[in-house]
Structure 1
């Protein structure tokens, strides 16, 4: 199999094809040339043979004619036998003028004398010549038939052909040896160049093209290939350096980087991916990303143009632990196809911080509500004393009626009903205070409510305190139903805080005229906008950027937590709380909340 492959490879090579072509050309040309030359020499041989025997036959005819004229038969017989002893003449037949054979005696010849015109006509290796025997006076004295042997000439022609074939073989051998030398001289350097190119193609860039030859063209080719090799080495080193830099950069990224194909088969990962998943880099590079997270979600981000390129999901590590990660997917188009670059960010700390922040805000809101209730305790006690005192008076009146035996059932029923109304009022006050102070859990009380209703309830709650009840706000509420999905108590807390701050700002002016407006509407972005505008002193320009900071307060006894808590609550509800100076004087605090649309929510 190896020898056959070598022969086939050689016949397909340049040197093999050139050598085979030259040999075939010489075989065709030499065959025609040698055949022509040999035929020409053969014709010369045969023609020379024919010329010689015809000359010899004329000589013999003259001698035989002379003997017949002298009528000396014995001498004729001896002369004929002498002729047959040597040379190519093998047969003599002589007839007299009457057609009788006089030599050899006793021979009967029924057929006429035959004569050949060309060499080898009879195929019996004999050449026959007949001639008439004519005396000097033109008398016919007889006839003669001579037979000459062609064997000697045939053997000479055979030897000529054999020598010709030997010469042709020697010539072809010389041609092959010469072409082999030319092949070694010309094509061996080319083969060396080919082997060198194959070595470079296999990645052995440091092996130079060292070709020993005197052929100028091959030297130029070798020099050109050496320049190309140096350029490849230079570019390869630059690419290697660039790849090392990119890999070092990727490995320095704290996020996990995974490169996979459209089927999810991972091709390369960085160290952060191995650290995040607890798998080795080698294991990850041989497996599918679907073993770590949902590949359908990854693929959907590329196939669906409207899908979010960044989303959150859960990753399952080697130990089976579910890790929250943020996924960022992008596509990389190459000639071989499209690859997916998947960035995974560990968001466990962020989720923990969000939970802690949410818990902190709940705690602070709860503390704020308790602080507010502490400040409102006296006013609330006064408000409760009124219905409790009325209840006591109604009950005492009933007791006195029974003691005096002057029982008037209608009066007693009126007193009891009035006492019940006051008890209901007191229970309502206590229930609202209890709900306001209660600490709620995450998403525990999200409900769809009317924002205008929250405003009215908050105003009603603030006015329970006689300290604030002297200021009556103007409600400019839109007639449209403003449905919003929120934690009602938290939004009420924001409204109560803003309304109380506005009333306190108004009271600090010591002016009889005041202005407090609470409005609701839909802004240009389609969100619910609630504004609290007062006629107070406003916020100094140097403090505008600080009013929402924790522990910043312009009040002497303030904790600086009210507005910070309010902003946190609004932002947790995907809204915005902002401040703006009023058009004429005072302040305007407003916040926005997303409008709840039932069909969209579904």
Structure 2
């Protein structure tokens, strides 16, 4: 009897049992096949036992192979499911791009981020269609760099979705070279839209707090502002009266009158500058980074706090280094920092009675690309372990303070690429210092 076809069919049955049912059904199918062939096909003879054993070994090998492959594919599916779930939770997609052939592979999350159906064949043109118009040049530059052999990529850009929504993407990738000689750009892209929106909201809140702090400082400086405006107004009135006297003489003295009028114009400009500074500090506006003379900015700030210092019997000493390079910054924000530090220093000396109350503001070049500004007082200072707390939000040593001034000052300086810190003086009081970058 020809048993070959029956053996093949039996092995197929065993394989399917192990594949779909696992180890138990596979072994059961093996036992049934061996028993069936022993009973119906083979005659019980020594030579037939070898054939039965061979069938059993072959069947067991098929069972083992099927179960192992089934387990490997199951593990692979679980791994893919875990990866897909992890990508969805972290909003991070992956991609591969074979630059030579143009073939692109996207993960499921990448399709979701781009708002595309998984039946869509990803292409460079499709990617560029989704890129925000303002970021097209950046993305095209990175694509060209990849085509020219670039190795690593780390950049952010925006997507403009069909419904008008904007997404922020952070892309990181690198070129991978295989032993076969092929190359591929392999990378990940993360949807950081929520993070960027949170940062924008935080920035707006910080800007609002900074504005509140400036307005509060203006209230404290109201006496200084009134004094600074009244001085040129009084000079204008005096010069105007003098010019009238020179012009109403029997022989009008035109030269003297002209000198008085020039003095009037000078004092009017001075009053106008004070009002401009106050208006700028009071208004809310986006930062405007320009090259600045930091000594000039300090001079404007000192003019605003001068009367506040006089009312507390504080002498303001200004030690400005000559020929400093221009710094990179926003004039109003840097004025806010300096006036805040100066007012804090003046108020820290309010209870000092056993020494002269002196506030010193100085500048110096710190390295080739940094300018340092220091505000030093001889006040009561703070606890030795409380230096870092001074810059914490809502921490204050004043009974009527908000605890946001120094926190805002540090955030402004750090946004300018500088650093701010404080330390206790060798004698009395404290020094607050910050650095700003030289304009390049």
> Normalising TM by the smaller chain, what interval?
0.7 to 0.9
Q: 1:39: which partner in 2?
A: none
**CA distance in structure 2 between the aligned counterparts of 1:319 and 1:415, rounded to whole angstroms:** 67
- Whether 1:259 aligns to 2:103 is no
Q: In the alignment, is the contact (CA less than 8 A) between 2:247 and 2:254 conserved in 1?
A: no
Q: 2:418: which partner in 1?
A: 575
- Whether 1:328 aligns to 2:172 is yes
Q: In the alignment, is the contact (CA less than 8 A) between 1:398 and 1:415 conserved in 2?
A: yes
Q: 1:234: which partner in 2?
A: 68
**CA distance in structure 1 between the aligned counterparts of 2:398 and 2:191, rounded to whole angstroms:** 43
- Whether 1:304 aligns to 2:136 is no
**CA distance in structure 2 between the aligned counterparts of 1:489 and 1:223, rounded to whole angstroms:** 87
Q: In the alignment, is the contact (CA less than 8 A) between 1:520 and 1:530 conserved in 2?
A: yes
How do residues 187-226 of structure 1 correspond to structure 2 at under 5 angstroms?
A: 188=4, 192=8, 212=37, 214=48, 216=50, 219-220=53-54, 223=57, 226=60
Stretches of structure 2 lacking an aligned partner (at least 5 in a row): 43-47, 129-138
What is the Cα deviation at residue 409 of structure 1?
4.6
- Whether 1:475 aligns to 2:311 is no
**CA distance in structure 1 between the aligned counterparts of 2:360 and 2:14, rounded to whole angstroms:** 88
Secondary structure of the 1:510 match is: coil
Q: In the alignment, is the contact (CA less than 8 A) between 1:494 and 1:566 conserved in 2?
A: yes
Q: In the alignment, is the contact (CA less than 8 A) between 1:276 and 1:317 conserved in 2?
A: no
Q: In the alignment, is the contact (CA less than 8 A) between 1:462 and 1:469 conserved in 2?
A: no
- Whether 1:292 aligns to 2:137 is no
Specify whether residues 559 and 238 from structure 1 end up closer, same or farther in structure 2 by C-alpha distance, changes over 3 A only: same
**CA distance in structure 2 between the aligned counterparts of 1:560 and 1:364, rounded to whole angstroms:** 11
Q: In the alignment, is the contact (CA less than 8 A) between 2:93 and 2:190 conserved in 1?
A: no
How do residues 105-124 of structure 1 correspond to structure 2 at under 5 angstroms?
A: none
**CA distance in structure 2 between the aligned counterparts of 1:318 and 1:432, rounded to whole angstroms:** 46
Summarize deviations over 1:457-489 as a string: whole Å, max 9, x none: 433443365437842224253x56433322122
Secondary structure of the 1:292 match is: helix
Q: Kindly tell me the number of residue pairs found equivalent between the two proteins.
A: 403
What is the Cα deviation at residue 550 of structure 1?
3.3
> What TM-score, normalized by structure 2, do the two folds share?
0.74
Q: 1:269: which partner in 2?
A: 107
User: What is the RMSD computed on CA atoms of the aligned residues?
Assistant: 4.1
How do residues 281-430 of structure 1 correspond to structure 2 at under 5 angstroms?
A: 282-284=118-120, 286-288=121-123, 291-293=126-128, 294=139, 297=142, 300=145, 303-305=149-151, 307=152, 309-317=153-161, 319=163, 321-329=165-173, 341-399=186-244, 405=250, 407-409=252-254, 411-430=256-275
Q: 1:531: which partner in 2?
A: 374
Specify whether residues 437 and 278 from structure 1 end up closer, same or farther in structure 2 by C-alpha distance, changes over 3 A only: same
Specify whether residues 399 and 502 from structure 1 end up closer, same or farther in structure 2 by C-alpha distance, changes over 3 A only: same
How do residues 122-133 of structure 1 correspond to structure 2 at under 5 angstroms?
A: none
Higher relative contact order at CA 8 Å, sep ≥6: structure 1 or structure 2? Answer: 2
> What TM-score, normalized by structure 1, do the two folds share?
0.56
What is the Cα deviation at residue 318 of structure 1?
5.4
